Structure 1
Amino acid sequence: MAKKGTNAMPCAEHRFADGHVETESVLLDRLRALGGEVRRPYELGSVEQDEEGVTLTMTSGEKLRAACAVGADGMHSTVREAAGIGFTGSTYAESFVLADVTMDWAPGPEEVSLTFGTRGLTVVAPLPDGRYRVVATVDDAPATPDPAFVQRLLDERAPGQPEVTGSTWSSRFRVHHRVADRYRNGRLLLDGDAAHVHSPAGGQGMNTGIQDGYALGHAIAVGRLDAYEAQRRPVARRVVAFTHRMTRVATARNAAARAARNIALPLLGHTAVPQRLATELAELNYR
């Protein structure tokens, strides 16, 4: 696996959630039990393929030789660029604030709070040790939102409920929705965010990437690399389309569209839609 950055495991570069860190640890332990290892820190500078294999040159000048290279190196994939594979899609206009904070939160740590307001979408999700994950659409936010910014944001959108006491991590980001035009060019293959990126709505990114890895590992083991794209690219297109619809509904700015959404959502809660939605988000339909 070729990695653009300081780490060779995809979850190590962006520790968006405690669950990602724990999952990385489980996967790493299993890899080591099978005799494998992750090399750190490595930053990939360039990739070249020939009839016999692939040469990967690190920014340090060190070269690695392999039969093929799997690019799991994110949206700005060096491997995808070297393979000449397009990344079709676009970027949402909204920016997002993401912050892990410690706070006293009136609704408490037993449930996720989702608020649709005129200022935008706000999600507050409990984490261990009295911390909360705050995700919100914001027109103009600092690159690293501090506790005071998060306090003001929550005061506007959930008045009287938050008392932010600290922050462990925060960022501002924009969301893309894109799918690679192909998953393979010769000995170069794509996996995870190098092959597809989408809105965090529904939290499907990690599961989709792990399923990619499983399918690709099987394809390599049985010598059917062409079957990998045929199996996984349609799934990526479905996930990206689904999360795009969810994001458009969640970030609607038109007053009439917001009103229709706010009326429809409580009504849908009394139908079979929530069960179907849970199955879709868990990706149980893709196996």
Structure 2
Amino acid sequence: MDIHVLITGAGPTGLTLALDLHRRGVPFRIVDAAPAPFAGSRGKGLQPRSMEVLHDLGVIEPVLASGRLDLKMRAYRGREVVREWDVHEGRHPTVERPYARTMLIPQFRVEQVLREAFPQPVEYGKPLTSFTQDDSGVTAVVGGETVRAKYLVGCDGGKSFVRKQLGVSFVGETHEDQRMLIGDLRISGLDRDHWHQWGGGTDRWLALCPLPGTDLFQFQANGDGDPSPELYREIIRDRTGRDDLVVHDATWTSLYRTNIRMVDRFRVGRVFLAGDAAHVHSPAGAQGMNTGIQDAYNLGWKLAMETLLDTYEAERKPVAEWLLGMTTALMMSGQAFERRGDETLQLSLSYRTTDGEGLQPGDRMPDGITDQGRIFDLLRGPDFVTLDFPGGPVLVRPDGYVAAIGRSAVDAYFGANPVTQLHHRRIAARTAA
């Protein structure tokens, strides 16, 4: 066997999985058909739950240094400012929720941080062209080379080659009448302290969002046509009524069509699907990059331990179903840029199988302060962790979700999943007053 895991697709999903496997010492290769890293912003919202994931993976510091949490929306009529608002007004960090609001950060910067966190290079210009699987592994042809791996994970986007070769259905619909022109532009004449918007009707909406850490604005406008700087200049001039906004150049342009689709299976034998290869949806609410990151975070430790692999689909498929419904409703409401509900922060997502009050197995473990230190710091790393509180132990999975609460439940969990005992730490933690 050449490697344990072959990852195809080096976007946020594939890179998160690669970093998680790297810290576990699991042999992998990550390949991408593109000749170089993707240079466009595409996604630009990082949710609090994803920041918690990146905290655990040890890369939250460069992410926080590259993004922005306090950008207000500003609506115009021509040059006149008609409204300003904060979609996260009133949300502030707490002990249990240290990351309280969505961070604006271009997707290419998130990818760069993840790439730089593990020494093994992404293999660009290496398309996956075929694969077969048997009882012991997957044989794949990558860039003309035959590779043997125990598992293959398709993180190769909405047009996923892996998904198509598996014959997995991508159920849903494409809204051909809902198209958006997007791109990254250099523009002078606008401040970088607001997310600027004009219009709001079905054919007059325009938004220009400064991308933190760059000199770019992300351009968004409903409409059609061949994406180009010339077209974007015309739209800006027409919809703002201003001639002082100068588009100097564009580093990336694209035409987006609304797709709302998801797979009927996340796993076929030794092959898994994650991120956009498994689900695509409306961009409303900034969920896509984040859900892919969390797909990878759920799958990584299970691939490393080679246990509980069936729970990947059982846990992530309901999240994808909820996601498609939530983002579609947000898009149809016409309120995508109004105050956001807690559901978009992804902090309340749970893998519960039973109901109950208070913290339950399947819930996200909240942060907190103990005599041993901050809970998120105690949990950082690739292991299961038992926090021995005075009121009883709480067993936390490697992805930060509660596995069991109480001595008998913890013992039963390890009894049912003995491999997990090999990746376990115990910490006596008395909560600080």
Do the two structures share a fold, i.e. TM-score over 0.5?
Answer: yes
1:15 aligns to 2:99 (yes or no):
no
Q: Any idea what the Cα deviations from partners look like across 1:32-60, whole Å, max 9, x if unmatched? A: 2xxx54323210101111112101112x4
1:184 touches 1:190 (CA, 8 Å); kept in 2?
yes
Deviation at 1:105, TM superposition (A): 3.9
Q: Which amino acid aligns with 2:333?
A: V
Detail structure 1 runs of 4+ shifted over 6 Å in the superposition: none
1:99 touches 1:170 (CA, 8 Å); kept in 2? Answer: yes
**Does the 8 Å contact 1:112/1:124 carry over to 2?**
yes
How far the C-alpha of 1:72 sits from its partner, in A, is 0.4
The 1:88/1:105 distance shift into structure 2, 3 A limit, reads farther
Q: Distance in 1 between matches of 2:231 and 2:40?
A: 21
Q: Secondary structure at the match of 2:194?
A: coil
The match for 1:154 is 236
Amino acid at match of 1:282: L
Alignment of 1:79-98 (within 5 A): 79-92=162-175, 93-98=177-182
Taking structure 2 as the reference length, the TM-score comes to 0.55
TM-superposed deviation, 1:209: 0.6
SS at match of 1:112: strand
Q: Structure 1 residues 283, 195: CA separation in 2 closer, same or farther (over 3 Å shift)?
A: same
How far does the alpha carbon of each residue in 1:225-270 deviate from its partner, in whole angstroms, 9 at most, with x for none?
11111111111111121111222233xxxxxxxxxx7xxx99xx6x
Q: In 2, are the aligned partners of 1:177 and 1:197 still within 8 Å (CA)?
A: yes
2:222 corresponds in structure 1 to: 137
Q: Which amino acid aligns with 1:157?
A: R
Q: In 2 relative to 1, CA 81–219 (structure 1 residues): closer, same or farther, beyond 3 Å?
A: same
Q: CA 1:204–1:114 in 2, change beyond 3 Å: closer, same or farther? A: farther
Deviation at 1:211, TM superposition (A): 0.5
AA of the residue aligned to 2:346: E
SS in 1 for 2:228: coil
Task: Identify the structure with the greater helix proportion.
Answer: 1
Query: How far, CA to CA, are the matches of 1:13 and 1:168 in structure 2?
Result: 11
Relative to structure 1, the CA distance from residue 236 to residue 14 in structure 2 (aligned partners, 3 Å threshold; closer, same or farther) is farther
Q: Which moved more, 1:180-189 or 1:168-177?
A: 168-177
1:243 aligns with one of 300, 324, 327: 327
My pick for the range that moved more, 128-137 or 196-205, is: 128-137
**Cα gap change, 1:8 to 1:206, in 2 (>3 Å):** farther
Q: Hey, what does 2:344 align to over in structure 1?
A: 281
CA 1:15–1:152 in structure 2 vs 1: closer, same or farther (change >3 Å)? closer
CA deviation digits over 1:163-191, x for unaligned, max 9?
32322221223121111111001111001
Q: Write the distance in 2 (CA, Å) between the matches of 1:113 and 1:87.
A: 35
Residues 1:68 and 2:151 aligned together: yes
Report the AA paired with residue 121 of structure 1: W
- Taking the TM superposition and a 5 Å limit, the aligned residue runs for 1:88-237 are 88-92=171-175, 93-106=177-190, 108-115=191-198, 116-127=200-211, 128-138=213-223, 140-142=224-226, 144-146=227-229, 148-160=230-242, 162-222=245-305, 223-237=307-321
Task: Provide the C-alpha distance between the structure 1 equivalents of 2:286 and 2:39, rounded to a whole number of angstroms.
Answer: 14
Residue 129 of structure 1 and its aligned partner are, at CA, apart by 4.5
- Residues of 2 paired with 1:13 and 1:165: CA distance? 21
What per-residue deviation string (whole Å, max 9, x for no partner) do you get for residues 62-95 of structure 1?
Answer: 1111111101011121211222211101112222
CA contact (8 A) 1:80 1:190 kept: yes
Q: Which structure is larger by alpha-carbon Rg, 1 or 2?
A: 2
The alignment yields a C-alpha RMSD, in angstroms, of 2.6
State the one-letter code of the partner of 2:136: E
* SS of residue matched to 1:173: strand
Percent identity, please. Answer: 33
**How many residues get paired?**
257
Rounded Cα–Cα distance in structure 2 between residues aligned with 1:217 and 1:86:
24
2:8 paired residue number: 2
Q: 1:4 to 1:86 in 2, by over 3 A?
A: farther
Distance 1:120 1:49, change over 3 A: farther
Q: 2:217 is matched by which residue type in structure 1?
A: Y
1:98-118 CA deviation, whole Å, 9 max, x = no partner? 121122344x21111244124
